[in-house]
Amino acid sequence: MAILNATSKTYKADATGGKDSTTAINNVIEASMKDGSIVYLPSGTYLVEGNLIAEISGRPIQITGDGWGQTVISFTGSGDCFRSYCPGLYSTDTIFGAVPAGGSITGITIDGTNHGGEGGSAIHVGDLLQYNINVDVQNFYQPGDKGVWFDNQYWWTEQLYGKIFASNCASHVVFDNNGDTNSTGSFERCDLAIFIDQNDATFDGVVFQNGTYIADGALAIEGNFTGANTDVESAVLRFTGAAPDSHADAGAYSNIINSRLNVGVECDAPESNTTPYTIYFQTSDNYILNCTGIMDFMAAPAAFQQCNIPGSVSNFTGPILGDTSLVAS
């Protein structure tokens, strides 16, 4: 498979961070769609003042760097730094007969320290099959920001897999169903490992909203959280809402079901008055059901707040540490 170097004389992305590389990187992404070539960003810092778009149509778009902290995108624009999706999933945009297009983004750090406006994200992807993500995202800390935003706007996402390190983000990783009448909350059969460095006690870890769910998959959450001297309602794991009435799975509540769920987190705030919740359910209709694994919230100098609706966790097989309300349920 061919490799397209974004810094080559053809595309001229600037790995010194001295000038905007948005157009150069978008041009190499577009070129890769013609023959399935891999987009390669060598070590360096790339200033991105606009938005990187990878609309998948028939072929997977694979974007790779030299590793976290080696290939760095410094995002100073607004909205999404990187957006990838397939609007024709399970219909016309296929690779081999009925197999929908996928792709990947790996070996890259995206930093949002200087990004503009609220509601931004490092990575916004969805409506994909077998998408591979291995990224480091940091400093998307303004109100409404998301580190990684998994979002179905057209159909659904399945067999998503990979590893994410997210630090200092208002919501570190969000699963969302934010699209049209055909979109669903399905993130079935995914396999994700998420590492979080919270930094600010008001920031959430992993959020499921608008009726999103993982079924028959695996989710691991590990990391460090902190506390505050004022009340906070943040959580390691948060579930809110249901699929909107107009959507294909209207009324289905955010959940994790029939999956492996492993949590290993600590709260480094022994002198704080308030700490994040272990798990926060917006309503008793949101739930975790029939899952296996270990949930360890006690490797910490400070205790987390107990789950607010412990009855929403049922039939969990495996140790639960650091939240006696869940043990009792």
Is the pLDDT at 299 greater than 90, yes or no?
Answer: no
All residues at 6 or more sequence positions from 8 whose CB lies less than 8 Å from its CB, including other chains? none
Q: Cα-Cα-Cα-Cα dihedral of 311, 313, 319, 324, to 10°?
A: -30
Residue with tokens 């272990």, as numbered in its chain? 278
Sheet holding 235-240, edge to edge: 52-55, 80-85, 121-126, 146-152, 171-177, 204-209, 235-240, 277-281
Tokens at 11, concatenated: 């595309």
Q: Which residues pair with 296 in a beta bridge?
A: 264, 321
Query: pLDDT digit string (tens) for 232-254?
Result: 889 999 999 998 888 878 889 99
What's the Cα-to-Cα distance from 113 to each of 110, 118, 145, rounded to whole Å? 10, 12, 12
Bridge pairing between strands 146-152 and 44-48: unpaired
Average pLDDT score, the chain:
91
The sign of the dihedral angle between the CA atoms of 289, 258, 133, 243 is negative
In angstroms, the CA 20 to CA 112 distance is 15
User: Can you tell me the mean pLDDT for 279-295?
Assistant: 97
The pLDDT value given to residue 302: 79
The pLDDT value given to residue 268: 86
In angstroms, the CA 146 to CA 171 distance is 5
Between 96 and 137, the more confident residue is 137
The pLDDT value given to residue 329: 53
Query: pLDDT digit string (tens) for 57-112?
Result: 767 899 999 999 999 999 999 999 999 998 875 544 444 444 445 799 999 999 99
Q: Which residues pair with 221 in a beta bridge?
A: 194, 263
Tokens at 115, concatenated: 């990004």
Contact, 189 vs 159, CB < 8 A?
yes
The pLDDT value given to residue 270: 64
Query: pLDDT digit string (tens) for 172-187?
Result: 999 999 887 788 999 9
User: Which run of H or of E encompasses 194?
Assistant: strand 191-197
Sheet holding 255-257, edge to edge: 213-215, 255-257, 287-289, 313-314
The pLDDT value given to residue 99: 45
In angstroms, the CA 118 to CA 143 distance is 6
User: Can you tell me the mean pLDDT for 9-33?
Assistant: 96
Is the pLDDT at 43 greater than 50, yes or no?
Answer: yes
What is the phi/psi pair of residue 25, to 5°? -70, -40
The pLDDT value given to residue 97: 47
Between 12 and 299, the more confident residue is 12
Of 123, 199, 115, residue with least CA distance to 164: 123
User: Which run of H or of E encompasses 316?
Assistant: none
pTM of the predicted model as reported, rounded to 2 decimal places: 0.95
In the chain, pLDDT over 70 holds for what percent of residues?
93
The pLDDT value given to residue 1: 67
